[in-house]
């Protein structure tokens, strides 16, 4: 039903102040989970979903992001000479074809909606597009965006990833007001950004994966012209519902980690470390020892 989605926007202009002092010189998207930076997890997920063109909305100080996806000719050459084929393969997985990535600057931090709007000239007027937030790392099989693309093929409209959250956590998220619950997919009749405690319309929070109809960009254009403060993506999606166009939420299969927070980043490090064949036994033994010592100390 929906037109094929081949472009994804990655809003990566944030300062990452929660991770200072590291982010004084390193973009937060380059922080490493085990041995891969957050941005690589996001790119790998998008590739698995069939995305061919990657649009990064960046800001000053993000040069190492651009360098990361470039070919490192000297490093490749020295690995080749040393016969380190496995490392060479790992390195090749980070290379992107010329022209696959576009970089757009967001000069003022005016919100997620504004970051997405900055990419408007790289999309045609009738083209749906994905938005991937790198802070949300999702361990799922198949990857979350692929699950969404498959569901979107059935539904069309716009789609957000959603998961159930505890009532006392809802005020940290955009929350869906559900018109129809069809199991894995829900149809929304509204969206509320960071509702006050006790006012949330459901326990379904919006997570950082979106497939958006081209009309969402037109909505952002109107908000851009009318808003003095931050421009929220939630408002532009909610306008779709008000206009009678479909917005769906997908209860994705998998675990989401909020790598924009230190606790979430540490949890993700443990989860992804335990997934690695070469690390899991030694790492699990260490975690058991730590927990045993903590229990003994209590």
pLDDT in tens, 110-142: 888 999 999 999 998 889 999 999 999 999 899
Give burial (CB, 10 Å; 0-12/13-18/19+) of 48: middle
Inter-residue contact 85 to 36 (CB < 8 Å): no
Confidence at residue 226, expressed as pLDDT on a 0 to 100 scale: 52
To the question of pTM greater than 0.85 for the whole model, the response is yes
Question: Which residues 6+ apart lie within 8 Å of 247 measured at CB?
Answer: 157, 158, 159, 160, 187, 188, 191, 237, 240, 241
Q: Which of 48, 50, 45, 61 has its CA nearest to residue 10? A: 45
Give burial (CB, 10 Å; 0-12/13-18/19+) of 218: middle
The string of pLDDT tens digits covering residues 14-68 is 888 898 898 888 889 999 999 999 999 999 999 999 999 999 998 887 788 888 8
Q: Give φ, ψ of 104 to 5 degrees.
A: -120, 140
1 pLDDT tier (thresholds 50, 70, 90): low
> How many of the other CB atoms lie within 10 Å of CB of 284?
13
Q: How many helices (H) and strands (E) does the chain have?
A: 10, 13
DSSP-derived secondary structure for 120-139? GGGS-TT--EEEE-TTEEEE
Q: Which runs of consecutive H residues, i.e. helices, occur in the chain?
A: 38-48, 63-68, 73-81, 85-92, 112-117, 144-155, 214-226, 233-242, 262-275, 280-297
The string of pLDDT tens digits covering residues 255-274 is 999 999 999 999 999 999 99
Say which CATH architecture domain 7-255 belongs to.
Answer: Alpha-Beta Complex (3.90)
For residue 22, CA distances in Å to 27, 29, 87, 140, 169 come to 8, 11, 26, 28, 27
> How many of the other CB atoms lie within 10 Å of CB of 239?
19
Confidence at residue 142, expressed as pLDDT on a 0 to 100 scale: 93
SS3 251: strand
The string of pLDDT tens digits covering residues 153-177 is 999 999 999 999 988 888 888 899 8
Report the alpha-carbon distance of residue 249 to residue 240 in Å, rounded.
14
198 pLDDT tier (thresholds 50, 70, 90): confident
Question: Which residues 6+ apart lie within 8 Å of 110 measured at CB?
Answer: 229, 230, 231
Q: Which of 273, 22, 292, 15 has its CA nearest to residue 135? A: 15
- What are the structural domain ranges in the chain? 7-255, 261-298
* Max intra-chain CA distance, the chain: 63
* Residues in the chain, total: 298
Confidence at residue 225, expressed as pLDDT on a 0 to 100 scale: 56
% residues pLDDT > 90 (the chain)? 54
């Amino acid at each position: 039903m929906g037109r094929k989605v081949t472009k994804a926007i990655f809003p990566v202009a944030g300062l990452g102040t929660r991770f200072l002092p590291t982010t004084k010189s390193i973009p937060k998207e380059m922080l490493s989970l085990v041995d891969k930076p957050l941005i690589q997890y996001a790119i790998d997920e998008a590739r698995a979903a069939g995305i061919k063109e990657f649009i990064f909305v960046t800001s000053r100080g993000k040069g190492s992001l651009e360098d990361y996806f470039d070919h490192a000719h000297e490093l490749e050459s020295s690995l080749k000479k040393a016969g380190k084929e496995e490392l060479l393969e790992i390195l090749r997985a980070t290379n992107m074809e010329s022209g696959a990535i576009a970089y757009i600057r967001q000069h003022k931090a005016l919100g997620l909606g504004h970051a997405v709007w900055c990419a408007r000239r790289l999309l045609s007027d009738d083209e749906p597009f994905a938005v991937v937030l790198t802070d949300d790392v999702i361990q799922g099989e198949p990857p979350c965006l692929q699950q969404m693309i498959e569901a979107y093929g059935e539904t069309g409209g716009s789609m957000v990833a959603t998961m159930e959250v505890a009532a006392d956590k809802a005020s940290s998220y955009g929350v869906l007001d559900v018109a129809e619950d069809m199991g894995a997919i829900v149809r929304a009749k509204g969206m509320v950004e960071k509702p006050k405690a006790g006012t949330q319309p459901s326990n379904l929070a919006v997570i950082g994966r979106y497939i958006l109809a081209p009309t969402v960009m037109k909505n952002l254009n109107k908000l851009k012209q009318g808003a003095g403060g931050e421009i929220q993506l939630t408002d532009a999606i909610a306008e779709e519902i008000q206009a009678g166009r479909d917005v769906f939420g997908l209860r994705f299969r998998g675990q989401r980690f909020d790598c924009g927070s230190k606790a979430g980043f540490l949890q993700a490090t443990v989860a992804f470390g335990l997934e690695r064949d070469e690390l899991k036994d030694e790492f699990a033994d260490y975690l058991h020892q730590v927990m045993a010592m903590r229990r003994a100390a209590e």
